[in-house]
Amino acid sequence: MKSNSGFYIGRIKQINTRLLNKFLAQKNITAFNGEQGRILHVLWENDGISNQELSKKSGLAMSSLTTMLERMEEKNLLTRKGCSKDKRRCLLFLTEHANSLKKEYDEISEKMTRLFFEGISEVERLAFEKTLENVLHNLEKAEQEFSKKQ
């Protein structure tokens, strides 16, 4: 069975990230880029989570996340605080500066969603998202099974 789905998903991700970065620059948001926006998005919904939880929710590998979090901390977007229940864990919290950028980020995100689904009906969008959810589930399951064999 031949499919171009992986190619399309990769291209969509590339173009989506480039457009997002252009829209951020247009609004003079230089504190973070599109990839770091994924981290902020997760933290806006789940402030005070661990690196491991952030990795799982954002889909970013811990190796990528470590460097990105350091840069974001340098730009006053987040702070790390020790966990009172587990001294080995570090929790991530957004700064006031990061929270002040949420409204503009949400506006850009809404614009991206409109572009993404232009000319696509609500029924098609829901079916597409369900299909993507199923693909994600399949890949996560395969990844877990592969990790067990290692």
| Predicted local confidence at residue 142, as pLDDT | 94
The number of CA neighbours under 13 Å toward the Cβ of 50 is 12
Per-residue model confidence as pLDDT tens for the chain (150 residues): 889 999 999 999 899 989 999 999 998 888 888 888 889 999 999 999 998 899 989 888 888 898 999 999 999 999 988 766 665 678 899 999 999 999 999 999 999 999 999 999 999 999 999 999 999 999 989 988 988 887
Cβ neighbours around 17 below 10 Å, total:
15
